[in-house]
Structure 1
């Protein structure tokens, strides 16, 4: 959200390094992704290196001379498990085989994973086949690794090595880790600024993973949002077809800060709306016109295919992004898809927002979530949530600020009361979920949210109108945008000038909102221990500056068993 206001498998042989296995078949199947196979583990890969890059190096490996393959879009990993991780890259087999072209031959790509940056201790190797059918992207779903362990990985094709990346497995299921630490980001509009937030997270050596909460790419044509781009994406027109979405993903992945992030940490991602189109729902989107732009089903299928090709994500239930990852006994991470199953958004003030016949999550996903929360024995229940669940009223905000806030929310400004693209527009699902937490006595649920282009720290009350008499049953940490417009950008004023009035009004009308920052761009770092879950919120000096600095804006925490957020004075060590 946060866009415009409404207006062929090879016969490999499997081998193991000590106690370690190789790869599995990718769950998308051969029609959507090259099949992962394995090769014998030998003393060394027989490679004549051309343009080799080191671990964590930004950018991409250089292609060799002539038509030698190149790794021009970096490497990535994601969805860490206690015994494995998903590895990703894209190979350019010949110069003309650019993203979205459908051109270029099949090429065999080798991968290896090691416990050291020099790859002297290789623990697993395998081969995958890159083809135009999957835009020459490849994934290796490596299993048999040790839990809670850092690994280095790289790919090779035609005598050329990719840059090296670093990844990390999750703690063992029965383990009790002392702490977990995640980077948290959302809303990275390429045209709106530079990805300095990714650079700052890539430079940290203390993260288990980075959680991307949606709007990884944007669908708009150049100059649509924002009207005055800081830089220009490709293609210049709004993306509609499979080739378009592939080009958009491919161009974004040439950003050096994004490449550095993917090379440094495993990324755990869910989608929101802009991966397809603004304010999308099950059968359409605000930013899609059937007559002029074709069938929504075709556009969505193209966007979903490109997403799974380009992202280090395992497709989970029903080919969507909802899935669950476990990090020992300390935390379960429940990742939601709040676009694929939802009913269409309704207008402000319409009673349909409360209808039990309308859903944001879909009945099956909501049942999956509530049953998973009940069954979990983890200390903390983290919910990756693309749109805000906390109820928020904006009625007391001055009229001249309602329009810009509505633009951040992607909804009409007139009579603004709630954001109906959020859980506020689907209150029956929210009541069912929060009622389940309360009725089952499930403590320590933390919603981790993006979308709204602002930092927030919220209690999540059972009944907001009666809060604080009505109990808080969860907490919510909302991260601002990496680059996408927020209040000061829309108003064209310096940060933290006019926004103070709106922030005060929001807090006055919503007593469960502990803090909101409507102006900053940046990222957050979530730190989990048995005693508390804590979010450090960071702000960038200038989204338009590729060398932007970062500073801690605020820190909030929720102590185990309290279901409330309080301000923390000192940053995470």
Structure 2
């Protein structure tokens, strides 16, 4: 039982989490084939594969100008082929020896069904000595698709390490190794690897290991993630959400509590690190390392190890309330560089573009917005305001209209809700309401196209609430809901958010667990009190 668990609740919640995760994996344990899942708005993957002995080297290129290293080596092959990656291009010689490099285009994420099976070996990963001096920061999986995930970590030493991805074996003390890849840290110690050839809807564990003569002798924190479910699958999905994690709130009890819960995906809605006052790239990097430190049981590292991550940014990843039109371009570039270095934001880097989409079968599409770096405050009161770029707005409308998923879940960072006039409108210029023409354009589109089950997930305000986005709206817009959260910083105004527009409001940080159930057409929302571990709010909502 962890330090933050209550006497009975901690063990109960951990057992519940592991039990539910086992059920989730069991429902898709027998997968007939692996299918592609392509980012909305990008071209489909090209073809590449490797069959070598699991020997892979990575240049560790930061995924801002080129794609992360990809490999389908398993460590279970008996072939003598080798794979190397330099972040340039992807070519195959057609024989057992494959040289893989990348230009920033998605690589082939396809694989034969047997590639998901792995090879059973005797291995006790938890028994390998944990070395937090060498691996001091959180491990994270991100950009999860049906057959791939982007794995991140960090090493204090320049030597290559072994990334191993596995599932439980059938025998006692065994695992099935799915992928085994040698990864070399970049010049700043970051480890990043796009692991492909996985199967939809399955849970995987992973870890970075120091080796001696090929055998793991030390490791970082072990992590786990679930791949996106197949295109034709429809099942309940559970997500955890958080934001506004100021370092003065360490060790983030709300996130510690969250890590004891079951969730398929962790969604971070911005202000993951408060970089206010940082001016140089080295400063930004140092602050990210402090936030992601594993030592002392920080909730951020705990929560990220329990499931894969989708995320957006807010202002504090750069500096408080920054104006993209006036900020020093070099400072903005340094902030964005450090963000994409530290976090597995995307498997398809496009010049710091944050907005992207991830589909989970027919259940939910997670639509990630960038509500900060593209806004133009000088246009706010004009007839043509830019809160998000015209390109992003067109893409957002297309995803809302075209998505086959029951739920359209928008990672929004700053709330879109029509907040009470006093005192909230004193700061209206910093959110959607400060750009009323573009806000109305989006809501009118949802209404005109009759797009139901749009759920906005937001942060920024340092409050927790559940709202009707437009209390005086008509039709589907009147039913559209927003769920906002804080996992650290506080705002006393949250306690005054009242019915009927707000069904919950709080100034205090909470864990937040949301289950999207397409068959029932319902969304269960739980806000968890970090002190007691009890639900401060638990209700089932619907937009019927």
Same fold (TM over 0.5): yes
- State which of 205, 209, 229 in structure 2 corresponds to 1:156: 209
Counterpart of 2:93 in structure 1 is none
Q: 2:258, 2:364 → 1: CA distance?
A: 21
Does residue 519 (structure 1) correspond to residue 507 (structure 2)? The answer is yes
Instruction: Describe the shift of the 1:417–1:240 C-alpha distance in structure 2 as closer, same or farther (beyond 3 A).
Output: closer
1:453 touches 1:485 (CA, 8 Å); kept in 2?
yes
After superposition, the CA RMSD in angstroms is: 3.2
Q: Residue 512 of structure 2: SS of its match in structure 1? A: strand
Instruction: Describe the shift of the 1:22–1:38 C-alpha distance in structure 2 as closer, same or farther (beyond 3 A).
Output: farther
Counterpart of 1:86 in structure 2 is 150
Deviation per CA, 1:325-380: give whole Å up to 9, x if none: 011101111000111110127xxxxxx64533211111000000001111111111
1:188 touches 1:215 (CA, 8 Å); kept in 2?
yes
Tell me by how many angstroms 1:239 deviates. Answer: 1.3
Counterpart of 2:176 in structure 1 is 121
Q: 1:219, 1:89 → 2: CA distance?
A: 20
Counterpart of 2:286 in structure 1 is 247
Does residue 71 (structure 1) correspond to residue 135 (structure 2)? The answer is yes
Q: How does 1:37-436 map to 2 (within 5 A)?
A: 41-42=75-76, 54=126, 61-63=131-133, 70-93=134-157, 106-116=158-168, 120-132=175-187, 135-157=188-210, 159=212, 160-177=218-235, 179-204=236-261, 206-220=262-276, 238-255=277-294, 256=297, 257-284=299-326, 296-314=328-346, 316-344=349-377, 353-395=380-422, 402=423, 416-417=425-426, 419-436=428-445
Runs of at least 5 residues in structure 1 that lack an aligned partner in the other structure = 1-12, 45-51, 64-69, 94-105, 221-237, 286-295, 346-351, 396-401, 407-415, 489-498, 542-548, 563-573
1:202 touches 1:265 (CA, 8 Å); kept in 2?
no
Q: 1:192, 1:474 → 2: CA distance?
A: 35
Tell me by how many angstroms 1:168 deviates. Answer: 1.0
Q: Residue 160 of structure 2: SS of its match in structure 1? A: strand
Counterpart of 2:111 in structure 1 is none
Q: 2:486, 2:50 → 1: CA distance?
A: 44
Runs of at least 5 residues in structure 2 that lack an aligned partner in the other structure = 1-48, 79-123, 213-217
Q: 1:446, 1:201 → 2: CA distance?
A: 21
Q: 1:126, 1:195 → 2: CA distance?
A: 33
Instruction: Describe the shift of the 1:126–1:559 C-alpha distance in structure 2 as closer, same or farther (beyond 3 A).
Output: same
Tell me by how many angstroms 1:551 deviates. Answer: 2.5
Instruction: Describe the shift of the 1:358–1:148 C-alpha distance in structure 2 as closer, same or farther (beyond 3 A).
Output: same
Tell me by how many angstroms 1:485 deviates. Answer: 2.8
Counterpart of 1:551 in structure 2 is 534
Does residue 15 (structure 1) correspond to residue 51 (structure 2)? The answer is yes
Counterpart of 2:16 in structure 1 is none
Q: Residue 420 of structure 1: SS of its match in structure 2? A: helix
Tell me by how many angstroms 1:199 deviates. Answer: 1.3
Deviation per CA, 1:21-62: give whole Å up to 9, x if none: 999998855977874556562489xxxxxxx9739x9x9634
Q: 1:449, 1:271 → 2: CA distance?
A: 11
Q: 1:23, 1:144 → 2: CA distance?
A: 18
1:187 touches 1:483 (CA, 8 Å); kept in 2?
yes
TM-score (norm 1): 0.70
2:65 touches 2:351 (CA, 8 Å); kept in 1?
no
Q: 2:349, 2:66 → 1: CA distance?
A: 14
Instruction: Describe the shift of the 1:28–1:317 C-alpha distance in structure 2 as closer, same or farther (beyond 3 A).
Output: same
Instruction: Describe the shift of the 1:92–1:119 C-alpha distance in structure 2 as closer, same or farther (beyond 3 A).
Output: farther
Q: 1:556, 1:25 → 2: CA distance?
A: 48
Q: 1:333, 1:31 → 2: CA distance?
A: 24
2:408 touches 2:455 (CA, 8 Å); kept in 1?
yes
Tell me by how many angstroms 1:297 deviates. Answer: 0.8
Instruction: Describe the shift of the 1:125–1:170 C-alpha distance in structure 2 as closer, same or farther (beyond 3 A).
Output: same
Q: 2:433, 2:55 → 1: CA distance?
A: 46
Instruction: Describe the shift of the 1:265–1:182 C-alpha distance in structure 2 as closer, same or farther (beyond 3 A).
Output: same
1:479 touches 1:537 (CA, 8 Å); kept in 2?
no
Q: 2:74, 2:148 → 1: CA distance?
A: 19
Deviation per CA, 1:98-121: give whole Å up to 9, x if none: xxxxxxxx4323211011286621
1:82 touches 1:148 (CA, 8 Å); kept in 2?
yes
Tell me by how many angstroms 1:423 deviates. Answer: 0.5
Q: Residue 359 of structure 1: SS of its match in structure 2? A: coil
Q: 1:370, 1:25 → 2: CA distance?
A: 38
Counterpart of 1:448 in structure 2 is 457
1:74 touches 1:163 (CA, 8 Å); kept in 2?
yes
1:23 touches 1:140 (CA, 8 Å); kept in 2?
no
**Matched residue count:** 438
Instruction: Describe the shift of the 1:468–1:324 C-alpha distance in structure 2 as closer, same or farther (beyond 3 A).
Output: closer
Instruction: Describe the shift of the 1:539–1:14 C-alpha distance in structure 2 as closer, same or farther (beyond 3 A).
Output: same
Q: 1:559, 1:32 → 2: CA distance?
A: 42
Q: 1:147, 1:119 → 2: CA distance?
A: 23
TM-score (norm 2): 0.73
Q: Residue 364 of structure 1: SS of its match in structure 2? A: helix
Q: Between 528-537 and 359-368, report the one with greater CA deviation.
A: 528-537
- State which of 517, 533, 536 in structure 1 corresponds to 2:526: 536
